[in-house]
């Protein structure tokens, strides 16, 4: 793992670098500005994690984040800054929109315990996932077309549990491209291209078909979680989608009520008649509808209430490490209340520690998902995990 710390203040920068090295990360670079960091990265290999202040001399931190994301110079981002929380959340949302994983925001000055906890969580996530630390991979639309034709995509599944009793409720299908030469390619490397090239329907169809095939196999073995699948705005505008999904559900013998369709908050507030019709028809057919990235502040309660959602997935930027940052607990609690006021089940993403799990339980969150519960895993591992997970104390 390679880390770069960017901060114009010498003491905080060196302290952060030392603490990261103390976590077992030997390759830690330092830069005093965004310009210097970009110049260093232009001559060197890409960085796994950039730890940066938002207030930088010269190029500001917002521009710096955009530049490293657009140029695929890093995989993960951790903010250490004294800016207001709404601004930090906006910068993290920008990073995620550019396929840069926002690992969190720590108020400056960072305490050794908080910074160490964030870095160690990331190390655990990287160790648990074969692709999380993968460098950016550039693919073409033609390669995607061929991959769809050859069915090179595979779903990985991440379990989620009920907070009250720890029972398995659902698994989220996370698509991977099993490339014959490059190995597992993460969705961030190809989903945006598939969407813009008009290929997303083909990938969505494959994900659903393979996920439902696994669901039938698990059901026969006595394991029957709901299946959660992500939909893009482009997919929502496909007028044939509801009937196609219903036909697939019938083919594999999975009731629509056990199929959850996730839509991001930004896509959820669309005023496109085709998308609204699709959402309404899906709910009429009894498919579950989930707001992904809930709490990012994109939509108003009135806009969300206009769509028949059944659950809200609380964005991981509000969840991961919240037990280490008491100043953010109020924001999380308010987000959970907002979801409940809309009549929605609450699901927290990014639960990566026992302390976060316990805090979310105290706040009344219904279900939890994250590396503390389980890593994403191939379909053939779900059955054994589901039958044996209860032996492990939460």
- What average pLDDT score do residues 38-50 get? 81
Of 225 and 322, which is predicted with more confidence? Answer: 225
Distance (Å, whole) CA 374 – CA 231: 23
What's the rounded Cα separation, in Å, for the pair 211 and 219? 12
Q: What is the mean pLDDT of residues 351-370?
A: 95
Torsion angle in degrees (nearest 10) through CA of 113, 114, 117, 118: -150
Q: Which candidate, 238, 165, 151, 259, places its Cα nearest to that of 203?
A: 151
Global pTM value: 0.74
pLDDT at 336: 96
Mean pLDDT of 296-307: 78
- For 276, other C-beta atoms within 10 Å of its C-beta total 15
CA quadruple 235, 241, 245, 247: dihedral sign: negative
At 379, list the tokens.
């379909």
Where residue 33 falls among pLDDT bands split at 50, 70, 90?
Answer: very high
Any idea how long the chain is?
Answer: 394
Phi, psi of 375 (to 5 degrees): -80, 160
Does the N-terminal peptide bond of residue 324 adopt cis geometry, omega within 30 degrees of 0? no
DSSP letter at 251?
A: H
Q: Pick from 65, 51, 54: which is nearest to 23 by CA?
A: 51
pLDDT in the model for residue 130:
47
Q: Which residue has the tokens 């009894």?
A: 286
The token duo for 365 is 């969150």
Pairing of strands 367-369, 153-162: antiparallel
pLDDT, tens digit (0-9, with 9 covering 90-100), for 117-169:
777 777 666 655 544 444 456 788 999 999 999 999 999 999 999 999 999 99
Residues 47-55 have a mean pLDDT of 90
Q: What per-residue confidence (pLDDT) applies to 100?
A: 84
Q: How far apart are CA 192 and CA 233, in angstroms?
A: 11
Could you tell me the two tokens for 342? 């809309």
The structural domains of the chain, ordered by start, are 2-128 (3.40.50.2300), 141-391 (3.20.20.450)
> pLDDT at residue 385 above 70?
yes
What gap in Å lies between CA 349 and CA 332, rounded to an integer?
A: 12
- Residues 218-224 have a mean pLDDT of 92
Q: What is the pLDDT of residue 286?
A: 97
Helix H or strand E encompassing 330: helix 329-341
Neighbours of 326 (CB within 10 A): 9
Q: Residue 392: count other Cβ atoms within 10 Å of its Cβ.
A: 9
Give me the chain's average pLDDT, please.
Answer: 87
Q: Does residue 297 carry a pLDDT above 70?
A: no
- A 10 A CB-CB count for 217 gives 15
Between 290 and 328, whose confidence is greater? 290
Burial of 130 (0-12, 13-18, 19+ CB in 10 A): middle
Do residues 7 and 19 lie in contact, with contact meaning Cβ atoms separated by under 8 Å?
A: no
pLDDT tens digits, 59-86: 999 999 999 888 878 888 999 998 888 8
Which is it for strands 153-162 and 74-81: parallel, antiparallel or unpaired?
unpaired
pLDDT at 258: 97
């Amino acid at each position: 793992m390679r880390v770069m710390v960017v901060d114009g203040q010498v003491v905080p920068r060196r302290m952060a670098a030392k603490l990261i090295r103390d976590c077992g990360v030997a390759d830690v670079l330092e830069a005093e500005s965004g310009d210097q960091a970009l110049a260093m990265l232009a001559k060197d290999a890409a960085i796994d994690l950039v730890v940066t202040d938002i207030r930088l001399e010269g190029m500001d931190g917002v521009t710096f984040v955009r530049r490293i994301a657009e140029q695929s110079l890093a995989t993960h981002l951790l903010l250490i800054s004294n800016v207001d929380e709404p601004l930090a959340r906006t910068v993290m949302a920008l990073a995620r929109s550019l396929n840069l994983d926002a690992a969190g925001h720590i108020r400056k000055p960072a305490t050794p315990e908080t910074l160490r906890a964030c870095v160690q969580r990331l190390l655990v996530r990287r160790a648990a996932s074969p692709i999380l630390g993968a460098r950016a991979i550039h693919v073409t639309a033609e390669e995607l077309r061929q991959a769809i034709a050859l069915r090179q995509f595979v779903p990985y599944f991440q379990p989620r549990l009920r907070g009250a009793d720890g029972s398995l409720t659902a698994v989220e299908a996370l698509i991977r491209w099993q490339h014959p030469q490059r190995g597992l390619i993460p969705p961030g490397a190809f989903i945006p291209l598939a969407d813009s090239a008009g290929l997303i329907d083909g990938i969505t169809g494959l994900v659903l078909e393979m996920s439902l095939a696994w669901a039938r196999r698990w059901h026969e073995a006595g394991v029957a979680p709901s299946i959660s699948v992500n939909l893009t705005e482009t997919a929502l505008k496909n007028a044939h989608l509801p009937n196609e999904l219903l036909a697939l559900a019938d083919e594999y013998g999975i009731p629509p009520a056990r199929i959850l369709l996730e839509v991001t908050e930004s896509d959820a507030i669309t005023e496109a008649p085709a998308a609204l019709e699709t959402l309404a028809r899906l709910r009429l057919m009894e498919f579950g509808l989930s707001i992904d990235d809930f709490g990012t502040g994109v939509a108003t309660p009135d806009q969300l209430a206009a769509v028949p959602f059944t659950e809200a997935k609380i964005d991981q930027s509000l969840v991961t490490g919240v037990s280490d940052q008491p100043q953010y607990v109020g924001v999380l609690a308010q987000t959970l209340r907002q979801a409940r006021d809309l009549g929605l089940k609450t699901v927290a993403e990014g639960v990566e520690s026992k302390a976060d799990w316990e805090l979310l339980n105290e706040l009344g969150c219904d279900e939890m998902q994250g590396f503390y519960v389980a890593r994403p895993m191939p379909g053939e591992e779900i059955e054994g995990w589901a039958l044996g997970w209860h032996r492990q104390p939460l």
